[in-house]
Structure 1
Amino acid sequence: MKKTFRCINLIIILVILASCSNETEEFEKPLPTLLSSPETYIEGEQEFEIYTYYQSFLDFLAQAEKQPDNVEEIYKNTVLNSFKENGFSYSDFNAEIFYTPSDVVKLRNTIEVLIERQDELNTTIKQALATSVAELPGGSKKIHIMPIIPEITHNIEEEAGSVGGYAWNKNNIVLLVGPSFLEVDLAYTVAHEYHHVVYMDTKGGKWYTLLEQAVLEGKADTFATMLYPESFMSYYEPFTTEENTKVMEIFSANLESTDVELSVDFLYGDEREDIPQFATYIIGSQIMEALLTKHSNLTVEEWTKMPAKEVLEKSNLLLNKTE
């Protein structure tokens, strides 16, 4: 009888120890080794550098936990300084994507998931670049992977599949990536932003008119959709008939405008003027669709380099709207 009890007790102890061991192992599971940053990737005659900032974010999180009242200064000294070392300036850090994160728990989860998926993420980026270069060669570019911080989640994850992007200038792309990103949406975003920076090589650094902004976005969406039609990254809805009449009237009267407030209205919407959100993208897509319907023989390089005024004229879009 005593032997039976001893055996049962031993089994119970072993089960408990095994359970504790598994929990400890899961809790203390180390993160994968970080990929080198930058990772240099050659495609044809173009060189790409892919920068990740995982270690900088991990450093920030470790220090922020110990000094919760000093997070802004810590963020500047860890994350922002890393971006500065890679060509960004302090004036760039006024942009929303560089705001100091407040929800460090959610940020840590995002960082850890992205590190777990870093091979998948970088491979998808390189494949998208290869596909884009095959259709539209350009110059050497830098790709910076920025984890989506909780403060801007509402702008990206809900509407754009946990992926966003900025053509920061003609040489740099910033990709905003959340933990639930889909490969096809990431690839679409890379293609979209790549088209922007190639176009910027031909356009230069001049400020864009309202027409040029619309055509810029229309071209990039057309290019990305051509390569990745299965993506749902074009998340904006077409105009209603009533919206189309009102918006195109305002747009037609301000083609050459460089007014920043008007540009913001056409991007984020203005209820007072009945301008819906993402009007710039919607108009640009309409113009490009009309252009390529009438001139289907144009190559990608030809319509990419075509000036915005010529694109609009050949599309006959505004002419059709007034008939």
Structure 2
Amino acid sequence: MLISSLILMIGCSNVTTESDTPSNSTNNLEPITFTYNENEYKIVNFYQEFSQYIKEAEKHPDNLDTLYIDTVLEPFTKSVFGEDYGEFISKQWGFGTPTRPKILEEYLLYLNENNNKINDLIIDALKKSTDELSSEDDKVVYILLASPDDVTKMKWLKGVTGMTWDQNVITIQIAPPFLDEDILKFVVAHEYQHAVFFEKNEIGTNATVLEEVMLEGKADTFAQIMYPEVVTPWNDFSTKSQEENTWSYLEKNLNSINASIKDDLFYGNSSKGIPDTSNYKMGNKIMDSFIQENPSISIEEWTEMSADEILEKSKYEAKNQE
């Protein structure tokens, strides 16, 4: 399950009486729990663990990797999985050791001071998403600090990145200097759709290239439906030739499970004319075509559809052969 989840870096309305908005807690650093549409949602911040890392980093600047695993990643993975996967997680993008604790402390100060606002944005996105796509399982959203070492990427991502670990657990990492509140809600909706998909489906390292492309295409499409005014930097091609090159490459490798091909689509490959995040871009294009061709199919239905069926019903392949 852990390895499967690391592949990820958006129905019918079912409104019931909701609990009081929980953001008025007297202690804004306590976990927040609320019930909505018969499911329990929890928002948990890991600020205390980051605070401990910052204190230890100042005392032992030559031992940052071990400190970060011990103070942040190990407690996180034990909380989520019941086991210590800290060292494994530390090798994944976004979870590497922050080497600038002073800047990290500034991040932490901002999130502490704005915790109620962050919680409200996440709560709003969860409720809005649940109204459109019902869930069968409870959800926990963990809020972590992004690393100042990833400043270039986090600026491009507008201060937010997320990951869905399974049907229950989502992480949101925030870089306050670049935080776009609308993007935060968009990312929460995107990750929520992943979590609902995982309630009935599994995807692992043996997933095909097409399955991974459509996984992201579905999530981004859902988030775009929730927040049509939000423009993200990762979901569209700059030129038609980029789209054509990417489709040609994908078409030849639809059923491949080769990691290097998946990397080409995620990280880009300039020699092949493929831009980065092409798995998102291509997934969005196929989903756009699918919805145009099948407007009566609900979000809940297409969430459950296989990648092969989505591609077939989208007629994207046929359109690109004309």
| TM-score normalised per structure 1 | 0.85
The match for 2:188 is 190
| Greater CA drift, 105-114 or 234-243 | 234-243
Q: Do the aligned partners of 2:163 and 2:171 also contact (CA within 8 Å) in 1?
A: yes
CA drift of 1:41 comes to 2.3
Q: Structure 1: how far apart are the matches of 2:27 and 2:195? A: 31
Percent identity of paired positions between Structure 1 and Structure 2: 31
Asked which structure has the greater RCO (Cα within 8 Å, sep 6+), the reply is 2
Q: Structure 1: how far apart are the matches of 2:233 and 2:64? A: 36
Q: Do the aligned partners of 1:53 and 1:82 also contact (CA within 8 Å) in 2?
A: no
The structure with more radius of gyration: 1
The match for 1:6 is none
SS in 2 for 1:256: coil
The correspondence of residues 15-94 of structure 1 with structure 2, limited to 5 A, is 34-37=28-31, 39-88=32-81, 89-90=85-86, 91-94=88-91
CA drift of 1:197 comes to 1.3
Specify every segment of 5 or more residues in structure 1 that has no aligned partner in the other structure, as ranges. Answer: 1-31
The match for 2:239 is 240
SS in 2 for 1:144: strand
- Matched residue type, 2:283: G
| Greater CA drift, 215-224 or 163-172 | 163-172
Q: Structure 2: how far apart are the matches of 1:318 and 1:182? A: 35
Structure 2 residue 201 is the aligned partner of structure 1 residue 203: yes
- Matched residue type, 1:48: Y
Q: Do the aligned partners of 2:167 and 2:195 also contact (CA within 8 Å) in 1?
A: yes
| Higher normalized helix content (fraction of residues) | 1
Write the deviation string for residues 124-178 of structure 1: whole angstroms up to 9, x where unpaired.
1111100001111112122111111112222122x12111111123322111111
- Matched residue type, 2:257: T
Work out which of the residue numbers 107, 114, 117 in structure 2 matches 1:110: 107
| Greater CA drift, 258-267 or 238-247 | 238-247
Q: Structure 2: how far apart are the matches of 1:275 and 1:200? A: 29
SS in 1 for 2:165: strand
Give the ranges of 4+ consecutive aligned residues of structure 1 lying more than 3 Å apart after TM superposition: 234-237
What's the Cα RMSD here? 1.7
The match for 1:283 is 282
The correspondence of residues 202-241 of structure 1 with structure 2, limited to 5 A, is 202-206=200-204, 207-241=206-240
| TM-score normalised per structure 2 | 0.85
Report how many residues are paired.
Answer: 290
Q: Do the aligned partners of 1:53 and 1:146 also contact (CA within 8 Å) in 2?
A: yes
The match for 1:95 is 92
SS in 1 for 2:228: coil
SS in 1 for 2:149: helix
Q: Do the aligned partners of 1:50 and 1:142 also contact (CA within 8 Å) in 2?
A: yes
CA drift of 1:33 comes to 5.4
The match for 1:269 is 268
